[in-house]
Chain A
Amino acid sequence: MTATARNLTFAFFALLVAGAVSPMVIGSARFPQWLEVALGGLLTGVLYSLVALGLVLIFKASGVFNFAQGAMVLFAALTLVRLMEKMPLAVALAATLAIMFALAWLIERLVLRPLVNQEGIVLFMATLGVANFLDGFGQAVWGSQIYTLNVGMPKEPKIILQGTFEGGVLVDMEDLVAAGIAAALVAALMLFFQKTATGRALRAVADDHQAAQSVGIPLNRMWVIVWSVAGLVALVAGVVWGSKLGVQFSLSQVALKALPVVMLGGFTSIPGAIVGGLIIGLGEKISEVYLGPAFGGGIENWFAYVLALVFLLFRPEGLFGEKIIDRV
Protein backbone atom coordinates (compact mmCIF):
# COMPACT_ATOMS: atom_id res chain seq x y z
CA MET A 1 0.00 0.00 0.00
CA THR A 2 1.22 3.51 -0.68
CA ALA A 3 1.71 5.85 2.21
CA THR A 4 -1.41 7.88 1.45
CA ALA A 5 -3.57 4.77 1.16
CA ARG A 6 -2.21 3.51 4.45
CA ASN A 7 -2.87 6.81 6.15
CA LEU A 8 -6.37 7.11 4.76
CA THR A 9 -7.30 3.57 5.81
CA PHE A 10 -5.87 4.26 9.24
CA ALA A 11 -7.85 7.49 9.49
CA PHE A 12 -11.00 5.72 8.40
CA PHE A 13 -10.62 3.02 11.03
CA ALA A 14 -9.81 5.60 13.68
CA LEU A 15 -13.00 7.45 12.78
CA LEU A 16 -14.96 4.21 12.90
CA VAL A 17 -13.67 3.27 16.31
CA ALA A 18 -14.26 6.78 17.59
CA GLY A 19 -17.79 6.68 16.24
CA ALA A 20 -18.44 3.29 17.70
CA VAL A 21 -17.15 4.24 21.13
CA SER A 22 -18.65 7.74 21.19
CA PRO A 23 -22.02 6.73 22.67
CA MET A 24 -20.19 5.93 25.86
CA VAL A 25 -18.18 9.12 25.86
CA ILE A 26 -20.75 11.72 24.92
CA GLY A 27 -23.95 9.83 25.55
CA SER A 28 -25.36 8.08 28.48
CA ALA A 29 -24.51 4.55 27.46
CA ARG A 30 -22.67 2.43 29.94
CA PHE A 31 -20.13 -0.16 28.96
CA PRO A 32 -22.16 -3.33 29.56
CA GLN A 33 -25.04 -2.11 27.42
CA TRP A 34 -22.68 -0.91 24.78
CA LEU A 35 -20.98 -4.28 24.81
CA GLU A 36 -24.32 -6.00 24.30
CA VAL A 37 -25.10 -3.84 21.32
CA ALA A 38 -21.59 -4.21 19.95
CA LEU A 39 -21.61 -7.99 20.32
CA GLY A 40 -25.00 -8.22 18.71
CA GLY A 41 -23.77 -6.09 15.83
CA LEU A 42 -20.60 -8.08 15.36
CA LEU A 43 -22.50 -11.32 15.32
CA THR A 44 -24.99 -10.04 12.78
CA GLY A 45 -21.97 -8.91 10.80
CA VAL A 46 -20.68 -12.46 10.70
CA LEU A 47 -23.96 -13.53 9.20
CA TYR A 48 -23.68 -10.85 6.53
CA SER A 49 -20.18 -12.12 5.82
CA LEU A 50 -21.59 -15.55 5.13
CA VAL A 51 -23.63 -14.23 2.25
CA ALA A 52 -20.84 -11.96 1.10
CA LEU A 53 -18.50 -14.95 1.02
CA GLY A 54 -20.53 -16.57 -1.72
CA LEU A 55 -20.34 -13.35 -3.74
CA VAL A 56 -16.60 -13.06 -3.36
CA LEU A 57 -15.98 -16.70 -4.26
CA ILE A 58 -17.83 -16.41 -7.51
CA PHE A 59 -16.30 -13.09 -8.42
CA LYS A 60 -12.81 -14.34 -7.70
CA ALA A 61 -13.16 -17.41 -9.86
CA SER A 62 -15.35 -16.28 -12.71
CA GLY A 63 -15.32 -12.50 -12.64
CA VAL A 64 -19.09 -12.47 -12.33
CA PHE A 65 -20.85 -10.31 -9.78
CA ASN A 66 -23.47 -12.79 -8.70
CA PHE A 67 -26.49 -10.76 -7.82
CA ALA A 68 -28.43 -14.01 -7.45
CA GLN A 69 -26.56 -15.01 -4.28
CA GLY A 70 -29.43 -13.75 -2.12
CA ALA A 71 -31.96 -15.65 -4.18
CA MET A 72 -29.76 -18.74 -3.80
CA VAL A 73 -29.81 -18.30 -0.02
CA LEU A 74 -33.60 -18.13 -0.05
CA PHE A 75 -33.94 -21.04 -2.45
CA ALA A 76 -31.64 -23.24 -0.37
CA ALA A 77 -33.49 -22.39 2.82
CA LEU A 78 -36.89 -22.99 1.24
CA THR A 79 -35.82 -26.31 -0.24
CA LEU A 80 -34.40 -27.47 3.06
CA VAL A 81 -37.34 -26.47 5.18
CA ARG A 82 -39.84 -28.13 2.88
CA LEU A 83 -37.79 -31.29 2.50
CA MET A 84 -37.46 -31.49 6.26
CA GLU A 85 -41.21 -31.96 6.44
CA LYS A 86 -40.74 -35.29 4.70
CA MET A 87 -37.33 -36.54 5.81
CA PRO A 88 -34.89 -36.28 8.71
CA LEU A 89 -32.53 -33.31 8.92
CA ALA A 90 -29.39 -35.06 7.75
CA VAL A 91 -31.06 -36.49 4.65
CA ALA A 92 -32.76 -33.20 3.89
CA LEU A 93 -29.44 -31.38 4.13
CA ALA A 94 -27.77 -33.82 1.76
CA ALA A 95 -30.66 -33.59 -0.67
CA THR A 96 -30.67 -29.80 -0.60
CA LEU A 97 -26.95 -29.74 -1.17
CA ALA A 98 -27.36 -32.02 -4.16
CA ILE A 99 -30.05 -29.73 -5.53
CA MET A 100 -27.78 -26.69 -5.10
CA PHE A 101 -25.01 -28.49 -7.00
CA ALA A 102 -27.46 -29.29 -9.78
CA LEU A 103 -28.48 -25.64 -9.81
CA ALA A 104 -24.83 -24.62 -10.14
CA TRP A 105 -24.41 -26.95 -13.10
CA LEU A 106 -27.54 -25.60 -14.76
CA ILE A 107 -26.47 -21.99 -14.28
CA GLU A 108 -23.06 -22.69 -15.79
CA ARG A 109 -24.56 -24.50 -18.75
CA LEU A 110 -27.49 -22.24 -19.52
CA VAL A 111 -26.32 -18.82 -18.47
CA LEU A 112 -22.56 -18.58 -18.07
CA ARG A 113 -21.39 -20.58 -21.04
CA PRO A 114 -23.43 -18.74 -23.68
CA LEU A 115 -22.31 -15.42 -22.24
CA VAL A 116 -18.68 -16.29 -21.71
CA ASN A 117 -17.06 -13.40 -23.58
CA GLN A 118 -19.47 -10.66 -22.73
CA GLU A 119 -18.61 -7.69 -20.59
CA GLY A 120 -19.07 -7.71 -16.84
CA ILE A 121 -22.21 -5.66 -16.95
CA VAL A 122 -23.96 -8.16 -19.20
CA LEU A 123 -23.09 -11.02 -16.85
CA PHE A 124 -24.28 -8.94 -13.91
CA MET A 125 -27.60 -8.37 -15.63
CA ALA A 126 -27.82 -12.08 -16.35
CA THR A 127 -27.48 -12.84 -12.64
CA LEU A 128 -30.27 -10.33 -12.03
CA GLY A 129 -32.37 -12.45 -14.36
CA VAL A 130 -31.33 -15.62 -12.54
CA ALA A 131 -32.25 -13.99 -9.23
CA ASN A 132 -35.72 -13.16 -10.47
CA PHE A 133 -36.16 -16.63 -11.87
CA LEU A 134 -35.04 -18.34 -8.67
CA ASP A 135 -37.26 -16.16 -6.53
CA GLY A 136 -40.27 -17.03 -8.64
CA PHE A 137 -39.38 -20.67 -9.07
CA GLY A 138 -38.67 -21.31 -5.40
CA GLN A 139 -41.95 -19.80 -4.33
CA ALA A 140 -43.91 -21.45 -7.12
CA VAL A 141 -42.60 -24.89 -6.16
CA TRP A 142 -42.31 -24.60 -2.40
CA GLY A 143 -44.89 -21.97 -1.56
CA SER A 144 -44.61 -18.43 -0.27
CA GLN A 145 -45.58 -18.58 3.38
CA ILE A 146 -43.24 -18.09 6.27
CA TYR A 147 -41.73 -21.38 7.34
CA THR A 148 -40.05 -22.05 10.64
CA LEU A 149 -36.70 -23.68 10.29
CA ASN A 150 -35.66 -25.76 13.26
CA VAL A 151 -32.18 -27.19 13.01
CA GLY A 152 -31.55 -27.32 16.69
CA MET A 153 -30.11 -23.85 17.21
CA PRO A 154 -30.35 -22.58 20.78
CA LYS A 155 -33.14 -20.10 21.18
CA GLU A 156 -32.69 -18.68 24.67
CA PRO A 157 -30.35 -15.78 25.23
CA LYS A 158 -27.63 -16.24 27.75
CA ILE A 159 -26.26 -13.82 30.24
CA ILE A 160 -22.48 -13.80 30.47
CA LEU A 161 -19.83 -11.96 32.39
CA GLN A 162 -22.06 -11.62 35.41
CA GLY A 163 -19.06 -11.46 37.65
CA THR A 164 -17.45 -8.52 35.88
CA PHE A 165 -20.44 -6.35 35.16
CA GLU A 166 -23.51 -5.80 37.23
CA GLY A 167 -26.40 -7.60 35.61
CA GLY A 168 -24.14 -9.23 33.12
CA VAL A 169 -24.18 -8.90 29.36
CA LEU A 170 -26.96 -10.39 27.26
CA VAL A 171 -25.80 -12.48 24.37
CA ASP A 172 -27.98 -14.14 21.76
CA MET A 173 -26.80 -17.75 21.80
CA GLU A 174 -28.19 -18.46 18.39
CA ASP A 175 -26.08 -15.72 16.89
CA LEU A 176 -23.04 -17.02 18.72
CA VAL A 177 -23.50 -20.53 17.39
CA ALA A 178 -24.10 -19.11 13.92
CA ALA A 179 -20.87 -17.16 14.15
CA GLY A 180 -19.11 -20.34 15.14
CA ILE A 181 -20.53 -22.16 12.14
CA ALA A 182 -19.48 -19.33 9.86
CA ALA A 183 -15.96 -19.34 11.28
CA ALA A 184 -15.70 -23.08 10.75
CA LEU A 185 -16.91 -22.69 7.17
CA VAL A 186 -14.39 -19.96 6.42
CA ALA A 187 -11.59 -22.05 7.92
CA ALA A 188 -12.65 -25.02 5.81
CA LEU A 189 -12.76 -22.88 2.70
CA MET A 190 -9.35 -21.40 3.33
CA LEU A 191 -7.94 -24.91 3.79
CA PHE A 192 -9.63 -25.98 0.59
CA PHE A 193 -8.18 -23.12 -1.42
CA GLN A 194 -4.69 -23.34 -0.02
CA LYS A 195 -4.13 -27.06 0.36
CA THR A 196 -6.03 -28.94 -2.33
CA ALA A 197 -5.27 -29.22 -6.03
CA THR A 198 -8.77 -28.06 -6.99
CA GLY A 199 -8.37 -25.09 -4.71
CA ARG A 200 -5.12 -24.22 -6.41
CA ALA A 201 -6.73 -24.53 -9.80
CA LEU A 202 -9.53 -22.23 -8.69
CA ARG A 203 -7.06 -19.62 -7.57
CA ALA A 204 -5.34 -19.87 -10.93
CA VAL A 205 -8.63 -19.32 -12.71
CA ALA A 206 -9.32 -16.34 -10.49
CA ASP A 207 -6.00 -14.79 -11.42
CA ASP A 208 -6.13 -15.19 -15.18
CA HIS A 209 -8.67 -17.19 -17.14
CA GLN A 210 -6.61 -17.55 -20.28
CA ALA A 211 -3.42 -18.50 -18.51
CA ALA A 212 -5.29 -21.12 -16.49
CA GLN A 213 -6.81 -22.53 -19.65
CA SER A 214 -3.45 -22.70 -21.33
CA VAL A 215 -2.11 -24.97 -18.59
CA GLY A 216 -5.04 -27.27 -19.08
CA ILE A 217 -7.44 -26.23 -16.35
CA PRO A 218 -11.00 -26.86 -17.58
CA LEU A 219 -12.71 -23.54 -17.08
CA ASN A 220 -16.26 -24.81 -17.35
CA ARG A 221 -15.74 -27.46 -14.73
CA MET A 222 -14.07 -24.95 -12.44
CA TRP A 223 -17.04 -22.64 -12.73
CA VAL A 224 -19.45 -25.42 -11.83
CA ILE A 225 -17.30 -26.17 -8.81
CA VAL A 226 -17.17 -22.55 -7.71
CA TRP A 227 -20.87 -22.05 -8.10
CA SER A 228 -21.45 -25.29 -6.19
CA VAL A 229 -19.26 -24.07 -3.36
CA ALA A 230 -21.18 -20.82 -3.46
CA GLY A 231 -24.34 -22.93 -3.32
CA LEU A 232 -22.99 -24.65 -0.20
CA VAL A 233 -22.21 -21.30 1.36
CA ALA A 234 -25.71 -20.14 0.41
CA LEU A 235 -27.16 -23.20 2.12
CA VAL A 236 -25.25 -22.53 5.33
CA ALA A 237 -26.29 -18.88 5.19
CA GLY A 238 -29.85 -19.99 4.53
CA VAL A 239 -29.83 -22.31 7.52
CA VAL A 240 -28.41 -19.69 9.81
CA TRP A 241 -30.59 -16.78 8.67
CA GLY A 242 -33.65 -18.93 8.19
CA SER A 243 -33.36 -20.32 11.66
CA LYS A 244 -33.10 -16.78 13.01
CA LEU A 245 -35.72 -14.97 10.95
CA GLY A 246 -37.88 -17.74 9.58
CA VAL A 247 -37.75 -18.76 5.94
CA GLN A 248 -39.57 -16.13 3.95
CA PHE A 249 -39.22 -13.96 0.92
CA SER A 250 -37.51 -11.15 2.79
CA LEU A 251 -34.44 -13.38 3.15
CA SER A 252 -33.69 -12.47 -0.42
CA GLN A 253 -33.56 -8.85 0.60
CA VAL A 254 -31.26 -9.49 3.56
CA ALA A 255 -28.79 -10.59 0.98
CA LEU A 256 -28.89 -7.11 -0.51
CA LYS A 257 -27.07 -6.09 2.63
CA ALA A 258 -24.19 -8.29 1.61
CA LEU A 259 -23.46 -5.87 -1.21
CA PRO A 260 -22.02 -3.06 0.92
CA VAL A 261 -20.05 -5.72 2.79
CA VAL A 262 -18.41 -6.82 -0.42
CA MET A 263 -17.84 -3.25 -1.50
CA LEU A 264 -16.12 -2.47 1.75
CA GLY A 265 -13.98 -5.56 1.79
CA GLY A 266 -13.13 -5.59 -1.87
CA PHE A 267 -14.73 -7.89 -4.39
CA THR A 268 -11.85 -10.28 -4.58
CA SER A 269 -11.01 -10.84 -0.95
CA ILE A 270 -12.28 -13.49 1.45
CA PRO A 271 -10.80 -11.83 4.54
CA GLY A 272 -12.32 -8.64 3.16
CA ALA A 273 -15.77 -10.20 3.20
CA ILE A 274 -15.34 -11.08 6.85
CA VAL A 275 -13.83 -7.83 8.02
CA GLY A 276 -16.35 -5.93 5.92
CA GLY A 277 -19.19 -7.88 7.46
CA LEU A 278 -17.97 -7.19 10.96
CA ILE A 279 -17.60 -3.48 10.29
CA ILE A 280 -21.01 -3.18 8.67
CA GLY A 281 -22.75 -5.25 11.34
CA LEU A 282 -21.14 -3.32 14.17
CA GLY A 283 -21.66 0.08 12.57
CA GLU A 284 -25.26 -0.62 11.71
CA LYS A 285 -26.24 -1.80 15.18
CA ILE A 286 -24.49 0.99 17.04
CA SER A 287 -25.85 3.70 14.76
CA GLU A 288 -29.36 2.31 14.95
CA VAL A 289 -29.38 2.06 18.73
CA TYR A 290 -27.59 5.31 19.54
CA LEU A 291 -28.14 7.57 16.54
CA GLY A 292 -31.44 6.16 15.43
CA PRO A 293 -33.73 7.79 17.97
CA ALA A 294 -32.49 11.24 16.97
CA PHE A 295 -33.52 10.62 13.38
CA GLY A 296 -36.76 8.81 13.98
CA GLY A 297 -35.35 5.33 13.53
CA GLY A 298 -34.93 3.19 10.46
CA ILE A 299 -31.31 4.14 9.93
CA GLU A 300 -30.22 0.57 9.37
CA ASN A 301 -31.95 0.60 6.00
CA TRP A 302 -29.27 2.83 4.57
CA PHE A 303 -26.39 3.07 7.03
CA ALA A 304 -24.49 0.12 5.61
CA TYR A 305 -24.62 1.53 2.11
CA VAL A 306 -23.63 5.04 3.06
CA LEU A 307 -20.76 3.69 5.18
CA ALA A 308 -19.50 1.62 2.27
CA LEU A 309 -19.91 4.55 -0.10
CA VAL A 310 -17.90 6.88 2.12
CA PHE A 311 -15.18 4.29 2.50
CA LEU A 312 -15.02 3.74 -1.24
CA LEU A 313 -14.39 7.43 -1.78
CA PHE A 314 -11.13 6.94 0.05
CA ARG A 315 -10.27 3.53 -1.33
CA PRO A 316 -12.20 2.80 -4.53
CA GLU A 317 -11.09 -0.80 -4.59
CA GLY A 318 -12.25 -1.65 -1.07
CA LEU A 319 -10.15 -2.66 1.93
CA PHE A 320 -8.37 -5.65 0.48
CA GLY A 321 -9.39 -5.47 -3.14
CA GLU A 322 -6.95 -5.25 -6.02
CA LYS A 323 -6.12 -1.82 -7.27
CA ILE A 324 -7.72 -1.13 -10.62
CA ILE A 325 -5.08 0.06 -13.05
CA ASP A 326 -6.16 1.45 -16.39
CA ARG A 327 -3.69 0.49 -19.07
CA VAL A 328 -3.60 2.36 -22.31
Chain B
Amino acid sequence: MNLRDAEPQVAARKVGEPILAVENVSLAFGGVKALSEVSFEVREHEVRAIIGPNGAGKSSMLNVINGVYRPQHGRITFRGETRGHMDPRHSAERGIARTFQSLALFKGMSVLDNILAGRSLLMKSNIFLQALRVGPALREEIEHRKRVEEIIDFLEIPHARKTPVGRLPYGLQKRVDLGRALAAEPRVLLLDEPMAGMNVEEKQDMSRFILDVNDEFGTTIVLIEHDMGVVMDLSDRVVVLDYGRKIADGTPAEVRASQAVIDAYLGVKHEA
Protein backbone atom coordinates (compact mmCIF):
# COMPACT_ATOMS: atom_id res chain seq x y z
CA MET B 1 0.00 0.00 0.00
CA ASN B 2 1.48 3.27 -1.06
CA LEU B 3 0.01 6.19 0.77
CA ARG B 4 1.56 8.66 -1.62
CA ASP B 5 -0.87 7.55 -4.28
CA ALA B 6 -3.81 8.48 -2.09
CA GLU B 7 -2.56 11.74 -0.61
CA PRO B 8 -0.66 14.73 -1.98
CA GLN B 9 3.06 14.82 -1.32
CA VAL B 10 3.94 15.49 2.28
CA ALA B 11 6.22 18.48 2.53
CA ALA B 12 9.64 17.90 4.03
CA ARG B 13 9.40 18.32 7.79
CA LYS B 14 11.77 20.49 9.70
CA VAL B 15 13.32 18.04 12.13
CA GLY B 16 15.02 19.43 15.23
CA GLU B 17 17.35 18.37 18.03
CA PRO B 18 16.90 15.12 19.97
CA ILE B 19 14.03 15.52 22.40
CA LEU B 20 13.98 11.96 23.71
CA ALA B 21 16.83 9.51 24.13
CA VAL B 22 17.10 6.08 25.68
CA GLU B 23 20.51 4.71 26.62
CA ASN B 24 21.34 1.06 27.27
CA VAL B 25 17.88 0.30 28.55
CA SER B 26 17.42 -3.25 29.78
CA LEU B 27 14.15 -4.65 31.05
CA ALA B 28 13.42 -8.12 32.36
CA PHE B 29 10.34 -9.79 33.82
CA GLY B 30 11.53 -12.57 36.05
CA GLY B 31 13.68 -14.60 33.70
CA VAL B 32 12.33 -13.12 30.49
CA LYS B 33 14.48 -10.41 28.98
CA ALA B 34 12.18 -7.99 27.21
CA LEU B 35 14.83 -5.40 26.31
CA SER B 36 18.63 -5.68 26.20
CA GLU B 37 20.84 -2.60 26.08
CA VAL B 38 18.65 -0.68 23.68
CA SER B 39 19.76 2.82 22.74
CA PHE B 40 18.33 5.29 20.26
CA GLU B 41 17.17 8.84 20.12
CA VAL B 42 14.18 10.69 18.74
CA ARG B 43 14.45 14.15 17.21
CA GLU B 44 11.85 16.80 17.74
CA HIS B 45 9.11 17.02 15.12
CA GLU B 46 10.07 13.75 13.48
CA VAL B 47 8.04 10.60 12.98
CA ARG B 48 10.03 7.67 14.40
CA ALA B 49 8.84 4.13 13.92
CA ILE B 50 9.74 1.15 16.08
CA ILE B 51 9.30 -2.11 14.25
CA GLY B 52 10.22 -5.73 14.74
CA PRO B 53 8.79 -9.23 14.81
CA ASN B 54 6.30 -10.21 17.50
CA GLY B 55 7.71 -10.32 20.99
CA ALA B 56 10.58 -8.03 20.06
CA GLY B 57 9.88 -5.72 22.97
CA LYS B 58 8.30 -2.79 21.12
CA SER B 59 5.40 -2.21 23.50
CA SER B 60 7.74 -2.68 26.43
CA MET B 61 9.92 0.08 25.00
CA LEU B 62 6.99 2.47 24.86
CA ASN B 63 5.99 1.47 28.37
CA VAL B 64 9.51 2.26 29.56
CA ILE B 65 9.44 5.65 27.84
CA ASN B 66 6.35 6.77 29.64
CA GLY B 67 7.09 5.09 32.92
CA VAL B 68 4.60 2.24 33.08
CA TYR B 69 7.55 -0.14 33.32
CA ARG B 70 10.81 0.54 35.13
CA PRO B 71 13.93 -0.77 33.45
CA GLN B 72 16.51 -2.55 35.54
CA HIS B 73 19.25 -0.76 33.70
CA GLY B 74 19.77 2.28 31.52
CA ARG B 75 18.69 5.90 31.32
CA ILE B 76 16.02 7.93 29.66
CA THR B 77 16.51 11.55 28.71
CA PHE B 78 13.50 13.69 27.91
CA ARG B 79 13.64 17.41 27.24
CA GLY B 80 17.02 17.66 28.85
CA GLU B 81 16.13 15.69 32.00
CA THR B 82 17.91 12.37 32.49
CA ARG B 83 16.47 9.71 34.79
CA GLY B 84 16.88 6.03 35.58
CA HIS B 85 13.21 5.47 35.04
CA MET B 86 10.20 7.53 34.10
CA ASP B 87 7.00 7.99 36.06
CA PRO B 88 3.62 7.96 34.28
CA ARG B 89 2.36 11.12 35.86
CA HIS B 90 5.61 12.98 35.53
CA SER B 91 5.98 12.05 31.90
CA ALA B 92 2.40 13.17 31.29
CA GLU B 93 3.11 16.49 32.95
CA ARG B 94 6.25 16.98 30.87
CA GLY B 95 4.40 16.36 27.65
CA ILE B 96 4.30 12.68 26.70
CA ALA B 97 0.96 11.21 25.72
CA ARG B 98 0.18 7.79 24.33
CA THR B 99 -2.33 5.43 22.88
CA PHE B 100 -2.59 1.77 23.81
CA GLN B 101 -2.53 -1.41 21.83
CA SER B 102 -5.52 -2.69 23.74
CA LEU B 103 -7.26 0.68 23.70
CA ALA B 104 -7.63 1.13 27.48
CA LEU B 105 -10.54 3.52 26.96
CA PHE B 106 -12.89 4.36 29.79
CA LYS B 107 -15.71 2.16 28.65
CA GLY B 108 -18.32 3.63 30.96
CA MET B 109 -17.92 7.17 29.62
CA SER B 110 -18.93 8.91 26.43
CA VAL B 111 -16.51 9.95 23.69
CA LEU B 112 -16.69 13.53 24.89
CA ASP B 113 -15.90 12.56 28.45
CA ASN B 114 -13.05 10.29 27.44
CA ILE B 115 -11.36 13.05 25.51
CA LEU B 116 -12.15 15.61 28.19
CA ALA B 117 -10.46 13.25 30.66
CA GLY B 118 -7.37 13.61 28.52
CA ARG B 119 -7.29 17.27 29.47
CA SER B 120 -7.12 16.49 33.20
CA LEU B 121 -3.67 17.96 33.60
CA LEU B 122 -4.81 21.24 32.13
CA MET B 123 -7.86 21.62 34.35
CA LYS B 124 -7.19 23.36 37.58
CA SER B 125 -10.38 24.31 39.39
CA ASN B 126 -10.90 22.85 42.81
CA ILE B 127 -13.60 20.51 44.00
CA PHE B 128 -15.74 23.04 45.85
CA LEU B 129 -16.12 25.28 42.84
CA GLN B 130 -16.95 22.22 40.77
CA ALA B 131 -19.62 21.24 43.25
CA LEU B 132 -21.35 24.53 42.71
CA ARG B 133 -20.41 24.71 39.05
CA VAL B 134 -19.90 28.45 39.11
CA GLY B 135 -17.27 30.91 38.05
CA PRO B 136 -13.87 29.42 37.17
CA ALA B 137 -15.17 25.84 37.24
CA LEU B 138 -17.92 26.57 34.75
CA ARG B 139 -15.71 28.64 32.50
CA GLU B 140 -13.08 25.92 32.48
CA GLU B 141 -15.60 23.25 31.50
CA ILE B 142 -16.79 25.34 28.56
CA GLU B 143 -13.32 26.34 27.44
CA HIS B 144 -12.00 22.80 27.47
CA ARG B 145 -15.17 21.61 25.80
CA LYS B 146 -14.31 23.93 22.91
CA ARG B 147 -10.84 22.46 22.51
CA VAL B 148 -12.16 18.93 22.72
CA GLU B 149 -14.76 19.70 20.06
CA GLU B 150 -11.94 20.84 17.79
CA ILE B 151 -10.25 17.49 18.28
CA ILE B 152 -13.52 15.69 17.64
CA ASP B 153 -13.95 17.61 14.40
CA PHE B 154 -10.37 16.89 13.41
CA LEU B 155 -10.89 13.16 13.93
CA GLU B 156 -14.24 13.32 12.11
CA ILE B 157 -16.34 11.75 14.87
CA PRO B 158 -18.80 14.51 15.85
CA HIS B 159 -21.82 12.26 15.40
CA ALA B 160 -20.53 9.95 18.13
CA ARG B 161 -19.65 12.48 20.78
CA LYS B 162 -22.29 11.50 23.33
CA THR B 163 -22.12 7.75 22.68
CA PRO B 164 -20.57 5.54 25.37
CA VAL B 165 -17.31 4.39 23.81
CA GLY B 166 -18.04 0.74 24.58
CA ARG B 167 -20.71 0.87 21.88
CA LEU B 168 -18.56 2.24 19.08
CA PRO B 169 -17.00 0.12 16.33
CA TYR B 170 -13.33 -0.69 16.78
CA GLY B 171 -12.05 1.82 14.22
CA LEU B 172 -13.83 4.71 15.93
CA GLN B 173 -12.63 3.57 19.33
CA LYS B 174 -9.09 3.83 18.05
CA ARG B 175 -9.77 7.40 17.01
CA VAL B 176 -11.08 8.21 20.47
CA ASP B 177 -7.89 6.76 21.94
CA LEU B 178 -5.92 9.07 19.68
CA GLY B 179 -8.17 11.99 20.57
CA ARG B 180 -7.64 11.40 24.27
CA ALA B 181 -3.90 11.48 23.77
CA LEU B 182 -4.11 14.62 21.62
CA ALA B 183 -6.26 16.38 24.20
CA ALA B 184 -3.25 16.74 26.45
CA GLU B 185 -1.50 18.82 23.74
CA PRO B 186 1.63 16.71 24.08
CA ARG B 187 5.13 17.34 22.75
CA VAL B 188 5.68 13.65 22.10
CA LEU B 189 2.96 11.23 21.08
CA LEU B 190 3.55 7.49 21.56
CA LEU B 191 1.31 5.41 19.32
CA ASP B 192 1.11 1.68 20.00
CA GLU B 193 -0.08 -0.03 16.82
CA PRO B 194 -2.59 2.66 15.84
CA MET B 195 -3.54 0.81 12.67
CA ALA B 196 -4.06 -2.62 14.20
CA GLY B 197 -7.18 -4.30 12.97
CA MET B 198 -8.06 -1.65 10.40
CA ASN B 199 -8.95 -2.01 6.74
CA VAL B 200 -7.29 -0.01 3.97
CA GLU B 201 -9.63 2.97 4.17
CA GLU B 202 -9.37 3.22 7.90
CA LYS B 203 -5.58 3.05 7.64
CA GLN B 204 -5.56 5.87 5.13
CA ASP B 205 -7.71 7.98 7.46
CA MET B 206 -5.52 7.23 10.46
CA SER B 207 -2.34 7.94 8.51
CA ARG B 208 -3.80 11.25 7.45
CA PHE B 209 -4.58 12.12 11.05
CA ILE B 210 -1.10 11.22 12.20
CA LEU B 211 0.55 13.23 9.47
CA ASP B 212 -1.74 16.19 10.14
CA VAL B 213 -0.92 16.14 13.82
CA ASN B 214 2.78 16.10 13.03
CA ASP B 215 2.41 18.85 10.42
CA GLU B 216 0.03 21.24 12.14
CA PHE B 217 1.18 20.95 15.72
CA GLY B 218 4.74 19.80 15.23
CA THR B 219 4.15 16.90 17.62
CA THR B 220 6.96 14.38 17.69
CA ILE B 221 5.59 10.95 16.95
CA VAL B 222 6.96 7.57 18.02
CA LEU B 223 4.93 4.79 16.57
CA ILE B 224 4.88 1.02 16.65
CA GLU B 225 3.46 -0.49 13.51
CA HIS B 226 3.41 -3.80 11.72
CA ASP B 227 2.23 -2.61 8.33
CA MET B 228 5.48 -2.04 6.44
CA GLY B 229 3.88 0.16 3.83
CA VAL B 230 2.62 2.53 6.49
CA VAL B 231 5.97 2.60 8.23
CA MET B 232 7.94 3.28 5.11
CA ASP B 233 5.63 6.08 4.00
CA LEU B 234 5.01 7.84 7.29
CA SER B 235 8.27 7.72 9.14
CA ASP B 236 11.43 9.75 8.91
CA ARG B 237 13.54 7.18 10.72
CA VAL B 238 13.05 3.65 11.93
CA VAL B 239 14.37 1.55 14.83
CA VAL B 240 14.23 -2.20 14.45
CA LEU B 241 14.07 -4.46 17.50
CA ASP B 242 14.40 -8.21 17.61
CA TYR B 243 14.35 -10.32 20.79
CA GLY B 244 14.79 -7.15 22.81
CA ARG B 245 17.85 -5.89 20.96
CA LYS B 246 18.23 -3.10 18.46
CA ILE B 247 19.32 -4.53 15.13
CA ALA B 248 18.95 -1.52 12.85
CA ASP B 249 18.47 2.23 13.06
CA GLY B 250 18.12 4.58 10.12
CA THR B 251 15.91 5.87 7.35
CA PRO B 252 13.24 3.55 5.96
CA ALA B 253 15.28 2.87 2.85
CA GLU B 254 18.39 1.95 4.88
CA VAL B 255 16.43 -0.31 7.17
CA ARG B 256 14.65 -2.05 4.33
CA ALA B 257 17.95 -2.94 2.76
CA SER B 258 19.61 -4.17 5.99
CA GLN B 259 20.40 -7.87 5.94
CA ALA B 260 19.95 -8.19 9.68
CA VAL B 261 16.40 -6.90 9.40
CA ILE B 262 15.54 -9.23 6.54
CA ASP B 263 16.93 -12.17 8.48
CA ALA B 264 14.97 -11.26 11.58
CA TYR B 265 11.70 -11.14 9.70
CA LEU B 266 12.39 -14.29 7.77
CA GLY B 267 13.36 -16.07 10.94
CA VAL B 268 16.95 -16.80 10.02
CA LYS B 269 18.92 -17.52 13.17
CA HIS B 270 21.81 -15.21 13.64
CA GLU B 271 24.35 -15.14 16.41
CA ALA B 272 23.82 -12.33 18.93
Contacts and interface: CB of A to CB of B under 8 A. Distances in A.
Interface residues of B, number: 5
A328 B190 CA distance: 14
A179 B132 CA distance: 60
Contacts of B104: 328
A328 B193 CA distance: 13
Contacts of A328: 63, 68, 100, 102, 104
B180 to A, nearest CB: 14
A6 to B, nearest CB: 16
Interface in A293-328: 328
5 contacts: A328-B63, A328-B68, A328-B100, A328-B102, A328-B104
A328 B192 CA distance: 11
A328 B68 CA distance: 9
A211 to B, nearest CB: 19
- The 4 lowest CB-CB distance pairs between A and B, nearest first, are A328-B104, A328-B100, A328-B68, A328-B102
Interface in B84-138: 100, 102, 104
Contacts of B102: 328
A322 to B, nearest CB: 14
Nearest to B69: A328
Contacts of B100: 328
A328 B63 CA distance: 9
B188 to A, nearest CB: 18
A176 to B, nearest CB: 44
Contacts of B63: 328
A72 B48 CA distance: 60
B108 to A, nearest CB: 11
Interface in B29-73: 63, 68
A328 B102 CA distance: 7
A328 B99 CA distance: 11
A7 to B, nearest CB: 19
Nearest to B192: A328
A156 to B, nearest CB: 55
Nearest to B101: A328
Nearest to B68: A328
Nearest to B98: A328
A297 to B, nearest CB: 41
